[in-house]
Copies of this chain bind each other. A is one copy, B any other.
Amino acid sequence: MNSVINPEGEPMAANQSKRTNARRRPADSQQPPTADRLIALAAHHFRTNGFHATTTRELSKALGIEKSSLYYHVSSKDSLLYQICVESLNSIRDAVAGALEKIEDPGERVATLISSHVQTMLRDRDLHATMLIELRALTGTNRDEVIVLRDGYESLVRETIGEAQAAGALTRDFTAHELTLSLLNLLNWTIFWYRPDGPDSAERLESLFSHIFLEGAATNADQGKKKKSVPKPRRAVVGR
């Protein structure tokens, strides 16, 4: 795999996640180009109803044009999903890698990763939730390319965690891979229940997840002494 090019021939440079600047745009336009509005609209519908349950008729109606007119802006429904996934993964990687550039301490790098990841995901839930759950609706090379991007980001996380382990900041009772999966579990699922108008701000959630992942939820019942109420891993208690 050489580069990120979708099959319909629209080039999408790997480092260019801001689609807004990707097209020529008349100075007097009051809103983004139709193609960009379409992507954002599609992301919203795909997140809410799913890719397969969303029809091109719904999208065209929401855009205020006829359904056939969509195909002037995009070559297929699949291409919409592909572009959403690419933009999502590029923007997460750019945000996290950019934030990490300034930080040297390995432990602090993990905290920075958590905060930039959460902030970025919650800033555009439509985009990132669609990538997370509808990626599997992609087929062929589109799918393969997006999976390469996703694995690339996962590697960035795993390396950051591995370096924190090597520096003694994170436990070595578990592999970097195991800690990476745990952390992504904790962070990514959030997007499905988070509501911007709910009780938890993005900052509050950063704090919550940093605390859980780094320090855990248990108290040190007697300060400075070893915890005792945490049982050893054991066999299932039920049904086997």
CB distance from A76 to the nearest CB of B (A): 16
On whether the beta carbons of A216 and B216 are closer than 8 Å, the reply is yes
B residues near A181, Cβ cutoff 8 Å? 190, 193
On whether the beta carbons of B99 and A137 are closer than 8 Å, the reply is no
Return the contact of A207 from the options B53, B210, B213, B233 (Cβ within 8 A): B233
Question: A174-B211, A189-B184, A238-B98 known; A233 and B218 CB under 8 Å?
Answer: no
On whether the beta carbons of A235 and B107 are closer than 8 Å, the reply is no
In the bound assembly, the distance between CA atoms of A155 and B106 in angstroms comes to 38
In the bound assembly, the distance between CA atoms of A217 and B182 in angstroms comes to 10
B residues near A207, Cβ cutoff 8 Å? 233
A231 contacts B by Cβ under 8 Å? yes
B residues near A183, Cβ cutoff 8 Å? 217
Question: A209-B182, A216-B212 known; A231 and B108 CB under 8 Å?
Answer: yes
Copies per assembly: 2
On whether the beta carbons of B168 and A221 are closer than 8 Å, the reply is yes
On whether the beta carbons of A208 and B182 are closer than 8 Å, the reply is yes
On whether the beta carbons of B229 and A169 are closer than 8 Å, the reply is yes
- Of the listed stretches A4-12, A63-71, A112-120, chain B binds A112-120
| Closest A-B pairs by Cβ, 3 of them | A207-B233, A216-B216, A52-B52
Known: A182-B208, A206-B234. 15 other contacts (CB 8 A): A49-B136, A50-B52, A105-B229, A107-B229, A108-B231, A116-B236, A116-B237, A168-B221, A169-B219, A169-B221, A179-B212, A182-B212, A203-B236, A210-B230, A215-B227
User: Can you list 30 pairs linking A and B with CB atoms under 8 Å apart?
Assistant: A49-B136, A50-B51, A95-B238, A115-B236, A116-B237, A119-B238, A119-B239, A120-B238, A169-B229, A174-B208, A178-B208, A179-B217, A181-B190, A182-B186, A182-B208, A182-B209, A183-B217, A184-B189, A185-B186, A185-B187, A185-B189, A186-B186, A203-B235, A206-B234, A206-B236, A211-B233, A214-B217, A215-B216, A215-B218, A224-B225
